[in-house]
Amino acid sequence: MMRSLYSGVAGLKTHQTKMDVIGNNIANVNTTAFKSSSVTFADLMSQTTQSASGANAATGVGGVNARQIGLGVKSGAINVNISSQGSAQSTGNPFDIMITGSNFFVVSDGLANYFTRDGSFYVDGVGNLCMTSTGYNVMGWGVDPETLSIKQDTVQALRIMSADNLTYPPEATTKGTVTGILDKNDTDVNSEAGKTVNLNLYDALGYEYTARFIIKSTDNDGEYSAELTKLLDAKGNEIEIPDTVELFGSSTSVEDKNALTFNTNSYSWDTTNRLLKDKNGTNTIADLSLLNSGTDEQKAAVYDAVAAAYGYEGNTQGFLNLYVTVGSTDYTVKQLIDNASSGSTTPSIFDPDADTSTTTFDFETAGRNFVGQVLKFDTDTGLFDSIGGNILGDTTIQLSKIIANTADNTSNFSDIALNWSGISMFNNNGTSTVTATYGDKNGIGTGRKLGDMIGVSIQRDGMIYSSYDNGMTKLLGQIATASFPNSSGLEKHGDNLYQATMNSGSFDGIGVDVTASGGYMSTGVLEMSNVDLSAEFTEMITTQRGFQANSRIITVSDTLLEELTNLKR
């Protein structure tokens, strides 16, 4: 038989192989992260009819080259164009990820690790990051619970939406900052009610509260009283604070010359029966005898009514803390009221100066007692000087004294270190801008409520962060990648997966950071196939012509054999 006949058959088979590769490339022109392949040809073998001979120096005859007849062609190699980056296709899905560089994602079916460039991922029902097509787990590194940083050890499945990650734990507020301008001409600061400053805070369970401070001017220029008057929950309900608990400073006094005028337009006193009545003396507003025998609610109502009669409606405690000096003794307004309720002959609300010859109910206070701190400014510069004697401006709200858990005598609150040094006493056209915010100037110690997960983001280095509606973020893990000395040596496994081979290099089970080799990850995009249709169609044409030419070899060889058989007829 003629050797050319077999050479033609070998050519047909080899070109058919190349056509199969081209067809597969074109079929996968839209396959995510598909890498095209190409075929190289090699001659099959050659039949040597005469070996080469060397030159004969004795006879002067030259050497003769070997005579070899080729016996066809074979596929030399099928190479995967794995290093060529495919174009980016935008999807808008935050879990679609494209690697720029030569690295591979690591995925697992639970038994073995595979490698892929297909970054089409989703989160399954138990919170694992998985391949969309196969459900294989995306592998990466977890977070060290002690350092809260990535621990790059053996890769593991990334469970980014576990029960622990769906919420961010609350934290009690531990720091606060007071800033702004306290204008001495502000009518609020100079009023009986004072300037109200609210500080929002959280307890350890994430419940929000408001600490309400009152700042009031005193009789001394550049000196103000600062006191904590109320602690309110998120619904505006006042948290009960025992009288024995001083949350903000201790009991102190300031000078506060103030003439208190009894409101005769609305009220009148019945001193005989110890009653506060309306101005006509018809209706009883408060019965002072209840201070001796009434309930706590009745007693509170009496004090409130008397405070309103002297212009302190809504600021009963401030009214009761005022004091007058009779002779050499100081009496608080509360003592004056209590004395009147018991019929005592000592100074009372009916006779503040203890002078029976006078009948006026008006009196002048010498100052006031309050539980809090004295806030001072340098009157020359208007800058903060001290609070409670502390020139650094640091004070403490001892909220931990509010016992919430009586069983174990613990509190859900933490003490708050509050800094007042950011206040100045500049002229601001009679308007004060004092505000209190949780956290120090660096935002530390703010506290927070319980946070619900509102989003997940993946960084360029594969770090996965979750964000919460309380403003916090949390590191959930990092997507690991694999790098091979010879990535073209990887073996295709189907489903856009590859397996390591002896020629690709092995996977060490740990992986590498994608940025270590200059690569990075992009979210919301996928890598497209790197098949070049124009090149594939060109290769198809040359392959078709090669196949056609080889078929002609078989046809011509057959004709020659036919002529040979026709020699005998």
Percent of the chain clearing pLDDT 90 (strictly above): 69
Domain ranges within the chain, ordered by starting residue: 3-52+64-83+531-565, 98-168+452-523, 175-438
pLDDT (0 to 100) of residue 284: 95
pLDDT (0 to 100) of residue 164: 87
Contact present, 344 and 350 (Cβ < 8 Å): no
H/E element holding 420? strand 416-424
pLDDT in tens, 360-371: 889 999 888 888
For residue 264, give the nearest of 347, 333, 366, 360 by alpha carbon.
360
**Confidence class of residue 52 from pLDDT cuts 50, 70 and 90?**
confident
Instruction: Report which of residues 558 and 374 the model is more confident about.
Output: 374
Amino acid at 22: I
pLDDT in tens, 132-187: 999 999 999 999 988 989 999 999 999 999 888 999 999 999 999 999 999 999 99
What does the pLDDT average to over 337-352? 86
List C-alpha distances in Å: 525 to 91, 114, 117, 121, 528: 5, 21, 12, 11, 9
Instruction: Report which of residues 433 and 42 the model is more confident about.
Output: 433
What does the pLDDT average to over 249-264? 86
Cross-strand bridge partners of residue 278: 267
**Confidence class of residue 56 from pLDDT cuts 50, 70 and 90?**
confident
Q: What is the DSSP string of 268-304?
A: EEETTTTEEEETTS-SEEEETTHHHHS-HHHHHHHHH
pLDDT (0 to 100) of residue 561: 86
What tokens appear for 146 in the block?
């002690």
Contact present, 21 and 39 (Cβ < 8 Å): yes
What does the pLDDT average to over 463-490? 95
What does the pLDDT average to over 518-541? 95
Please state the φ and ψ torsions of residue 411, each to the nearest 5 degrees.
-120, 150
pLDDT (0 to 100) of residue 368: 86
What does the pLDDT average to over 542-554? 91
pLDDT (0 to 100) of residue 49: 80
pLDDT (0 to 100) of residue 219: 86
**227 by DSSP, 3-state: which?**
strand
pLDDT (0 to 100) of residue 459: 96
pLDDT (0 to 100) of residue 72: 85
Contact present, 483 and 512 (Cβ < 8 Å): yes
- Among 246-255, 400-409, 432-441, 443-452, the range scoring the smallest mean pLDDT is 400-409
pLDDT (0 to 100) of residue 206: 94
What does the pLDDT average to over 55-61? 86
pLDDT (0 to 100) of residue 23: 95
The answer on pLDDT for 193 being more than 90 is no
pLDDT in tens, 86-126: 999 999 999 999 999 999 999 999 999 999 999 999 999 99
**Confidence class of residue 327 from pLDDT cuts 50, 70 and 90?**
confident
Cross-strand bridge partners of residue 267: 278
88-92 long-range contacts, Cβ below 8 Å, gap at least 24? 88/522, 88/525, 88/526, 88/527, 88/528, 89/525, 89/526, 89/527, 89/528, 90/524, 90/525, 91/524, 91/525, 91/526, 92/524
The mean pLDDT of the chain is 91
CA dist 367 and 349 (Å) reads: 16
Instruction: Report which of residues 295 and 405 the model is more confident about.
Output: 295
Contact present, 461 and 513 (Cβ < 8 Å): yes
Amino acid at 143: V
For the chain, the residue count is 569
The answer on pLDDT for 47 being more than 90 is no
Q: Which residues make Cβ contacts (< 8 Å) with residue 47, sequence separation at least 6? A: 3, 68, 69, 70, 71
**308 by DSSP, 3-state: which?**
helix
The answer on pLDDT for 78 being more than 70 is yes
- Among 10-19, 242-251, 334-343, 543-552, the range scoring the smallest mean pLDDT is 242-251
Contact present, 419 and 438 (Cβ < 8 Å): no
**44 by DSSP, 3-state: which?**
coil
The answer on pLDDT for 1 being more than 60 is no
pLDDT (0 to 100) of residue 406: 67
What does the pLDDT average to over 263-292? 93
What does the pLDDT average to over 19-48? 92
pLDDT (0 to 100) of residue 250: 86
pLDDT (0 to 100) of residue 468: 95
What does the pLDDT average to over 504-520? 94
CA dist 480 and 461 (Å) reads: 9
pLDDT (0 to 100) of residue 191: 86
pLDDT (0 to 100) of residue 435: 97
542-551 long-range contacts, Cβ below 8 Å, gap at least 24? 543/15, 543/18, 543/19, 543/22, 544/19, 546/11, 546/15, 546/18, 547/11, 547/12, 547/15, 547/16, 547/19, 549/11, 550/8, 550/9, 550/11, 550/12, 550/15, 551/8, 551/12
**Confidence class of residue 245 from pLDDT cuts 50, 70 and 90?**
confident
